[in-house]
Amino acid sequence: MKKLILFFLVLLPVTLLAQFTTINPDTVCINSPFATYQVPNTPNYTYNWTVSAPGVLTAGQGTNEITVDWSAAPAGGPIVDAISVYATTPAGCDGPPITMNVFILEILPIVLPLDFCEGDPCEDLVATPAGGVFTGPNIVNGQYCPQTAGTETVTYTITEAGCTFTATADMTVYPIPVLDNISHD
């Protein structure tokens, strides 16, 4: 059995984790909604596919391989019996249908923006859900190390079930005020 994990972000840094386990789910990334499905090919068979809404069969009806567009499907929860197929022999005999569930995966990562003063020490970056990778300027082992005054963008990338999701946040470094000498009237 294949287990799928779906992360719902409620409020930073709270993450609600729901787990769905089914016999045959296919995970489709919400940001890459086209998927290809196939069964072993038997010469001279005709394959009759059905795709449940909101999926749209875009190519392959009658063959052993189809392409489906899931872009109208909302994220979360399995689409039960989303795809079914049965084969028909040249003599017109129909086989029993087989089905597959589909799970549309979307993770909405969040990165906390941080403010610094020049010369501040490195600070741990915070993002949900945990387990991703931070990239960008002045990143050292998951920490942001402020250098010079200005704003720099940090990217957080998390991959789950072959799907990749990113979020960005600005890290702002403020200059230290410098005063002239004290003068006397």
Domain boundaries, the chain: 2-105, 110-174
Question: What does the alpha-carbon distance between residue 165 and residue 6 come to, in Å, rounded to a whole number?
Answer: 13
Tens-digit pLDDT profile for residues 143-171:
999 999 999 999 999 998 889 999 999 99
pLDDT category of residue 16 using cuts at 50, 70 and 90: very low
pLDDT category of residue 14 using cuts at 50, 70 and 90: very low
Residue 120, φ and ψ in degrees, nearest 5: -65, 155
Task: Please state the rounded mean pLDDT for residues 116-140.
Answer: 94
Q: Which CATH superfamily is domain 2-105 in?
A: Immunoglobulins (2.60.40.10)
Class of domain 110-174 (CATH, top level): mainly beta
Mean pLDDT value across the chain: 85
Task: Please state the rounded mean pLDDT for residues 63-85.
Answer: 91
Does residue 17 carry a pLDDT above 70?
Answer: no
| pLDDT at res. 25 | 78
Fold: same for 2-105 and 110-174: yes
User: Of all helices (H) and strands (E), which one includes residue 98?
Assistant: strand 98-105
Question: What does the alpha-carbon distance between residue 176 and residue 181 come to, in Å, rounded to a whole number?
Answer: 16
pLDDT category of residue 124 using cuts at 50, 70 and 90: very high
